Amino acid sequence: MATIYKLNRKKDDSPYYYAKYKTANGDYAYKSTGLTKKREAKNLANEWEVEELKLAKKESKRRSASAEEQREIVNKLIAEQNKQGWKPHITIKAIKKIHSLCAKEDLEVQTLRGYLAEWIIQQKLVVKETTYKTYIEAIRSIDRTCESIMDKKLWHLDEGDISAIQKGLMEEADKKGTTRKTINYKMEVLKGAIRSAWKSKKISEFIWNLPTHPLPEEDSKLIVPFSLEEIESLIQSSTGNWKGMVLFAAYTGLRITNCATLRWEDIDQEDRILVVEPVKQRRAIKTNQRKCLTFALNDSLWNYLKFIGLKEKGFIFPEIEALHKDTRSKRFVKIMETAEVPRTVTLSYDKDEHGNPRIGWRSFHSLRHSFNSFLANSGVSQDTRKKYTGHSTNSANNRYTHEDVEAIREELQSLPEINWDKAVM
């Protein structure tokens, strides 16, 4: 039972009795009763200890019941694991139940969506902006196609979920016409994120190391060029800045982003020279290793620039520069439809593994192929073609000297003349 006592001090002795009693957890508590009468203090101390004893019995019963439930959970776990084979995700589910039972609260585990949102923020600090944007698009695709899986807790992910994500991406790709190569990239982004979760101890190795195999990429689109007649038709069907976009792409082989972001400052108007840094190498090559491409503006290009009005600075095609990159591509497809230039062509000279003619696809990028084909058909050497398409590491880094300019001008004279002015006269 509880005991009472008075403090033994020389000065300012307290008139109250103090109690010593055992608590529910087995420790002793020391507390003033606030009473001066011994009997009353003793009774109060006993009451305190009785209440603690009741709490101890109640906790003991709870622990006993909890232990029984835990044993039941563990027994079910063992039976299930013996039946299916020991799998970490089943064990994790059991641990979560036991944690909830003992701690009276759920074990906090991030959902896949929550974790990916956190992961992508971290990636923005360590990857290039263009890479970051591809990560964003990959995660958005997964969220669009597999919303229910994105809501699952990280610990609950299993092999079926990863396979379902891949299947969902395939279904979306079939509707949009994207390739298996794109799906494989998005799956690699996902697996990279989950691998990071494993490294930070948020998930078991079983999940990120799932054997999801890359899809075969035979369906990757084969891009083919436009003919000279088709290019002229595209220009005639274009409006505004698009006429110049098509013309510049056909004569330089620049990608759509490069063409859309061309600036008047990129042009030496005295020598009629265009110097531009390929957009693709901005993503993959360090600044001090990048190489510029230099083009002599032939009469068609120069006359077009004079037609729209030469300027000193600013974007040459401001209407198109302001568009989102996806919108640019869609607008060009509309131009193809207006010009009645088909997006696909059957390649009788190119067979697949089954002996069937392959299908060639055309887009704005096909103008780059046309440029290279025009050079090849005009007898321009492969080394020179590589220089202008940016595929060679031997191309010049700085602006060409006067002698180089003349050589460039001579090399590009063999390109066929495109009658761009038909559409504006």
> What six digits make up the tokens of 161?
């979920």
246 neighbors 422 (Cβ within 8 angstroms): no
Q: Does the structure show a pLDDT above 60 at 416?
A: yes
| 368 or 82, greater pLDDT | 368
Question: What is the pLDDT, as a whole number, of residue 105?
Answer: 58
Q: Band of the pLDDT at 223, cuts 50, 70, 90?
A: confident
Q: Mean of the pLDDT values across residues 82-107?
A: 64
Return the bridge partners of 346, or none: 359
Burial 368-378 (b: 16+ CB within 10 A, else e): bbbbbbbbeee
Tens digit of each residue's pLDDT (9 = 90 or more) over 331-361: 999 999 999 999 988 887 777 667 778 888 8
Rounded CA gap, 366 and 373, in Å?
10
Of 137, 88, 164, 147, the closest CA to residue 112 belongs to 147
Q: Is the pTM of this model over 0.75?
A: no
- The whole-number average pLDDT for the span 275-291 is 67
Q: How confident is the model at residue 313 (pLDDT cuts 50, 70, 90)?
A: very high
Highest mean pLDDT among 313-327, 356-370, 410-424: 313-327
- Is the pLDDT at 307 greater than 90, yes or no? yes
State the pLDDT confidence band at 109, using cuts at 50, 70 and 90. low
The yes-or-no verdict on residue 92 having pLDDT over 80 is no
Phi/psi at 400 (5° precision):
-75, 150
Percent of the chain surpassing pLDDT 90: 28
Mean per-residue pLDDT for 167-173?
Answer: 87
Averaged pLDDT for residues 290-298 = 84
